[in-house]
A and B are shown apart, each in its own frame.
Chain A
Amino acid sequence: MWTPKNEPALSGNNVLSFLLLEIVCIVLMVLDQSAKIATPIRSTLSTLTYPLTKIVELPQKAYSFINSTISDQAQLLNENTELKQKLSQAQIDLLQLDVISQQNHELRQLLNAKQQLPLQTTAAFIINVNTGSNDHHLIINQGYNQGVQVGQTVLDLNGVAGQISKVDIESSHVILITNENHAVPVEFLRTGIRTFIYGTGNLNTLSLSEIPQSADVKIGDILITSGYGDVFPRGLKVATINNILTTEDKSFKQATAVPSANLNLIKQILLVWNKEPSVQTSSLSKEES
């Protein structure tokens, strides 16, 4: 049974390795502040964790596969007609859009501004959603091997969802705009006033605390990305104002907004590829001036 021999010696050895490991952890935490050093370490280690994420992904994929094979024909036909209706509506919208984009093109030529390139996107599958207390993030199935970079914009079909924060070998982490530590440079679509929109830790609320006092703000105003800071491309829908707060603060107005992206039921996201960031900024600065 129990003999003193079996007992591992609680000598200085244990304390030493404890201190060593804690120092290693602190060094790692400090290194993690720069994406340049942390990304290679992460992607090497993530080759080890990759099978685990695959295992978690598997039942979800199997479920959607089974769902698509088993679902009955009537349901599929129904869905088909519905989609056809939606498509024809979209095509009609597109016809009008053609005219508008032609006009836009001509106007831009008159103003001698550079053309804004259409966004290049790829769809990505969500492996894991973590919307626990103060850490809103997603894990998606595209990573270093697919060329994903830190800072890439992530959209859902209705608006901006977030940006890439960490890149692993075959997956990457997306920080949502509702994360408490996230801010997006935005502008009001109606008035063009620029400000920042902050996450609140709540999936349905974003907050604006730095609207100039003189600004004209109404409930229902739409906010789009302003393109400042070179992270989010310009002109993507972010949120809609739902409440204007009265505060004692004399210098700024405050408001809350509802994110356009459907973050509660997020299923599929689009990764935006920013091919030539330098060209876009120069075109932007021209537009501003």
Chain B
Amino acid sequence: MRQQSNKLIHFSIVICLIMMLIPWKGWFQTLQPYWLALIIIYWSIEAPKQCGLFVAFFYSIMLDVLYGSLFGKHGFSIVAMVFLISKVHKRLKMTSFWQLAIMIGTLLLNDAFIRTVIDWLSQQSGSFKINLWPVLTSILVWPWFKYILDRVRHKF
């Protein structure tokens, strides 16, 4: 197992934060994949020592600041996700490509569910709507995302 350069990890996470900020036209905004979660999943599987709970917490709080969402909303769900991954990351590394994609879909669904519950509790508006589009697009993007990152990673 090669030691991954910390610079690359942080740089790629920051790039994903910027990608989350880039506005998409009109209705397409709803389809925007959850880049930050994808990159954090990737690194917490591939380099669990360097992308642990604290790194995930820090960047997801940054996302809360950037989005102006409830403080700690993304933090709460992403930290939970990284914890789940840290329990099984050895097995995740070994699973086949498609099984991994399904696992990631489940994790993202869980994450979306946690955030919806938080929204529902904090706003008391009574509507409980999970937005499943980003989960779906994230799963579709994942194979290419992983492929590109694997290529980039072995260059450094």
State yes or no: do A and B come from one complex. yes
Residues on A facing B (Cβ under 8 Å): 1-2, 6-8, 10, 14-15, 17-18, 21-22, 24-29, 31-33, 38, 41-42, 45-46, 48-49, 52-53, 55-56, 128-135, 137, 139, 165-166, 168, 172-173, 180-181, 264
A134 nearest CB neighbor, chain B only = B129
Q: Tally A-B pairs: CB < 8 A.
A: 115
With A2-B1, A22-B79 already in contact, the answer to whether A56 and B48 are too (CB < 8 A) is no
Give the size of the chain B interface in residues (CB under 8 angstroms). Answer: 45
| Chain B residues, Cβ within 8 Å of A14 | 53, 83, 86
Does A56 lie within 8 Å of B21, measured CB to CB?
Answer: yes
Is A48 within 8 A of B62, CB to CB?
yes
Docked pose: A48 CA to B10 CA in angstroms: 14
Instruction: Specify which of B18, B23, B30, B62 is in contact with A55 (CB 8 Å cutoff).
Output: B18
The 10 closest A-B pairs by CB, nearest first: A173-B68, A28-B72, A25-B72, A32-B71, A25-B76, A133-B131, A28-B71, A166-B68, A18-B83, A25-B75
Q: Which residues of A contact B125 (CB under 8 A)?
A: 180-181
* B142: interface (CB < 8 Å): no
Interface of B is mostly: helix
Interface residues of B (CB under 8 A from A): 1, 14, 17-18, 21-23, 26, 29-30, 32, 48-49, 52-54, 57, 61-62, 65-73, 75-76, 79-80, 83, 86-87, 90, 118-119, 122-123, 125, 127, 129, 131, 133
B128 to chain A, nearest CB (A): 10
